[in-house]
Chains A and B, each alone.
Chain A
Amino acid sequence: MADAKRPLPNPNEYDTREFWAATKEQKLVYQQCDHCGTVVFHPRRHCTGCLGNALSWREAAGTGTVYTFSVVRQSYHPFFRAQVPYAVAWIDLDEGPRILSNIIGVADPAKDVAIGQRVTVVWEPHEDLSIPLFRPA
């Protein structure tokens, strides 16, 4: 499976298409409610804090903290099994959203990734969008 590729998001998915469109310009965006201030993430068309839908898109700085992570040692996916071991992490962006991604750019993910670690976004470009990955800050 030499040509196995990372599974990419659907850029036309109704709730997340604006998020993925912004990644083309390597912008990491999230929504905040104009009315009640709730940070909404993953993206949606409605506010989960109030009954409104006046959500504004904001650009995140791309920095955050590792909330938790795991190092995958075994995968049956044709792309990911060639990547093991790799780190998957929930990352708390400084603006509030918690995003799932990979921590890359470390020699040994089991030793070089930690809860509380500061990380910053790095972009993996594709034709229609870019994938937000993170490396130690």
Chain B
Amino acid sequence: MARERSAAIVGIHEYPSRDVEGTVSPLQIKAECAAKALADAGLAWRDVDAVYDASEGGPMSGLSICEYFGVKPNVIDTTNVGGSSYEYHAAHARRDIAAGKARVALLTYGSTAHSNAFAIGVGGRGGGGVGPADNMESFTGMTLVANYAMVARRHMHQYGTTSEQLAEISVATRLHAMRNPEAVAAMTALEFLDIRETTIADVVNSRVIADPLHLLECCMISDGGGAVVIAAPEVARDCAKPPVWILGTGEATKYPENGGDITVSAATQSGPAAFAEAGVRPSEIDIAMIYDSFSITVLTILEDLGFCPKGEGGRWVAGGRLRFDRPKDGPALNTDGGGLSSNHPGMRGIFLLIEAARQLRGESCSQVNGAKLAVAHGNGGMLGSRHCAGTVVLGRN
């Protein structure tokens, strides 16, 4: 039972607006979130001695973001693995702090994907690179949704999973979103139709974007951003808010392989590593913050993290088990409203850490009473072809 307490989340901030209407830049969002997360922790710019950045603001961001913020860190890490980048940053920050290289780490994210009409979610084309793999695939017109839909189709074939079961993910997430004023404001700003709690029927009767995935199984395309401050124990002890400890982390890749199983994600590798390091079993987890780009992403990852046996995810989620108000039945899923119904500017991973921290502080809009343990699992890239997974197990004092 390791449960080593070498680094903790001590400051968080989520940018409240999801439609900035072109008034601010991604860099400005990052800086504003950084300042507010540092203030949340009771720290200042001068305390920051490690910066983690996914380069979404431009090339050579390890240099440019430091100048922009006005900090001179000793540790600079520009790992970019798409939406899972922030789980990697949290893992690396903990490692660097434990090694004595840093005391206060700053992670930030900013995006104006919505304002820029950036092609993600239902608009994503998929592919887009110039490497050998893309050169073999881009002629097919596989959209981003179709990439994930092919996982769902195979999952249905192999395990008998149904659209109604997948819809449970969307319904639970929307329930939580309706309790989160920022999520309701987001859906309003992004002109969602008929903003309310949804039913299984609502989801499966929404239009099909790429068989078998429906509109209400797809994430939104928002603006937004956030920041997380991670600190050493001696700093965390004096911070303004209670520390949320990083107990275990895992990283993994998955890519197409001849004869491979598309229903299995990289979480099968990152999850056990993170849980083992934390000395925690999935059954002990109160809060599951899982990257909900699409319904199938969550279903697959719930299985792969070990919440239920492989292939049984559909039956396991059926009946509302993932709601915040049924803590005895399993973890509460994406209690902020998720990428489906609250915030998805392209790389959602930072919000998984932020909402997990809120829950373990007792600050969530859909608070699980007495929540002690959370898992944040980021999936970066594309589930149906190539992706990175980052798992972070978190615990309160």
> In the bound complex, do residue A90 and residue B143 qualify as a contact, i.e. CB atoms below 8 Å apart?
no
Flag whether A54 is at the interface (Cβ < 8 A). Answer: no
Give the docked Cα–Cα distance between A83 and B143 (Å).
13
Q: Mark B208-250, 1 if CB is under 8 A from A, else 0.
A: 1111110000000000000000000000000000000000000
Give the docked Cα–Cα distance between A93 and B125 (Å).
25
> In the bound complex, do residue A19 and residue B141 qualify as a contact, i.e. CB atoms below 8 Å apart?
no
Give the docked Cα–Cα distance between A100 and B154 (Å).
15
> Of B30-38, B104-112, B129-137, B302-310, which binds chain A?
B129-137
Which A residues touch B145, using CB under 8 A? 70, 72, 74
Which A residues touch B208, using CB under 8 A? 71, 73
Flag whether B323 is at the interface (Cβ < 8 A). Answer: no
Among residues 127 to 152 in chain B, which have CB atoms less than 8 Å away from a CB atom of chain A? Answer: 130-133, 135-143, 145-146, 149-151
> In the bound complex, do residue B123 and residue A76 qualify as a contact, i.e. CB atoms below 8 Å apart?
yes
> In the bound complex, do residue A68 and residue B262 qualify as a contact, i.e. CB atoms below 8 Å apart?
yes
> In the bound complex, do residue A76 and residue B258 qualify as a contact, i.e. CB atoms below 8 Å apart?
no
The answer to whether A88 and B141 touch (CB under 8 A), given A68-B262, A72-B146, A74-B209, is yes
Flag whether B315 is at the interface (Cβ < 8 A). Answer: no
> In the bound complex, do residue A102 and residue B140 qualify as a contact, i.e. CB atoms below 8 Å apart?
yes
Flag whether B100 is at the interface (Cβ < 8 A). Answer: no
Flag whether A77 is at the interface (Cβ < 8 A). Answer: yes
Flag whether B260 is at the interface (Cβ < 8 A). Answer: yes
Which B residues touch A73, using CB under 8 A? 207-211
Flag whether A9 is at the interface (Cβ < 8 A). Answer: yes
Q: Mark A76-112, 1 if CB is under 8 A from B, else 0.
A: 1101100100101110100011111110000000100
Q: Mark A105-137, 1 if CB is under 8 A from B, else 0.
A: 000001000011000000000000001000000
Give the docked Cα–Cα distance between A137 and B211 (Å).
22
Nearest chain A residue, comparing its CB with the CB of B137: A100
Nearest chain B residue, comparing its CB with the CB of A97: B258
- Contact partner, B153, options A19, A70, A86, A100, Cβ 8 Å: A70
A85 vs chain B, min Cβ distance (A):
8
How many residue pairs link A and B with beta carbons under 8 A? The number is 117
Which B residues touch A69, using CB under 8 A? 150, 153
B157 vs chain A, min Cβ distance (A):
5
> In the bound complex, do residue B139 and residue A8 qualify as a contact, i.e. CB atoms below 8 Å apart?
yes
- Contact partner, A44, options B123, B132, B140, B157, Cβ 8 Å: B132
- The listed residue with most B CB atoms (<10 A of its CB), out of A43, A79, A88, is A88
> In the bound complex, do residue B139 and residue A131 qualify as a contact, i.e. CB atoms below 8 Å apart?
yes
- Contact partner, A74, options B138, B139, B210, Cβ 8 Å: B210
Give the docked Cα–Cα distance between A98 and B132 (Å).
15
> In the bound complex, do residue A43 and residue B211 qualify as a contact, i.e. CB atoms below 8 Å apart?
no
Give the docked Cα–Cα distance between A69 and B119 (Å).
22
The answer to whether A13 and B135 touch (CB under 8 A), given A73-B209, A88-B150, A90-B262, is yes
Give the docked Cα–Cα distance between A100 and B137 (Å).
6
Give the docked Cα–Cα distance between A129 and B385 (Å).
25
B382 vs chain A, min Cβ distance (A):
12
Flag whether B122 is at the interface (Cβ < 8 A). Answer: yes
> In the bound complex, do residue A16 and residue B141 qualify as a contact, i.e. CB atoms below 8 Å apart?
no
Give the docked Cα–Cα distance between A7 and B143 (Å).
13
Give the docked Cα–Cα distance between A100 and B262 (Å).
13
Which A residues touch B260, using CB under 8 A? 98
Which A residues touch B259, using CB under 8 A? 92, 96, 98
Which B residues touch A56, using CB under 8 A? none
Flag whether A57 is at the interface (Cβ < 8 A). Answer: no
Give the docked Cα–Cα distance between A39 and B262 (Å).
18
> In the bound complex, do residue A10 and residue B130 qualify as a contact, i.e. CB atoms below 8 Å apart?
yes
The answer to whether A9 and B258 touch (CB under 8 A), given A73-B209, A75-B125, A102-B140, is no
Flag whether B256 is at the interface (Cβ < 8 A). Answer: yes
Which A residues touch B256, using CB under 8 A? 90, 98
Which B residues touch A20, using CB under 8 A? 135
> In the bound complex, do residue A72 and residue B143 qualify as a contact, i.e. CB atoms below 8 Å apart?
yes
Q: Give 28 CB contacts A-B under 8 Å.
A: A6-B139, A7-B139, A9-B135, A10-B135, A13-B130, A13-B132, A39-B258, A68-B150, A69-B153, A70-B145, A70-B146, A70-B150, A70-B153, A70-B210, A70-B212, A71-B210, A72-B143, A72-B146, A74-B122, A79-B141, A80-B141, A88-B140, A88-B150, A90-B256, A96-B259, A100-B137, A115-B157, A131-B139
Q: A42-B133, A99-B136 are in contact. List 16 more A-B contacts (CB 8 A).
A: A10-B130, A13-B131, A13-B135, A15-B132, A16-B135, A70-B150, A70-B210, A70-B212, A72-B142, A73-B210, A74-B122, A76-B119, A88-B140, A88-B146, A96-B258, A102-B140
Using a CB–CB cutoff of 8 Å, the interface residues on chain A facing chain B are: 6-10, 13-16, 19-20, 39, 41-44, 67-77, 79-80, 83, 86, 88-90, 92, 96-102, 110, 115-116, 131
* Top 8 closest pairs, chain A to chain B, by CB: A15-B132, A80-B141, A70-B149, A68-B154, A71-B211, A70-B146, A68-B150, A13-B135
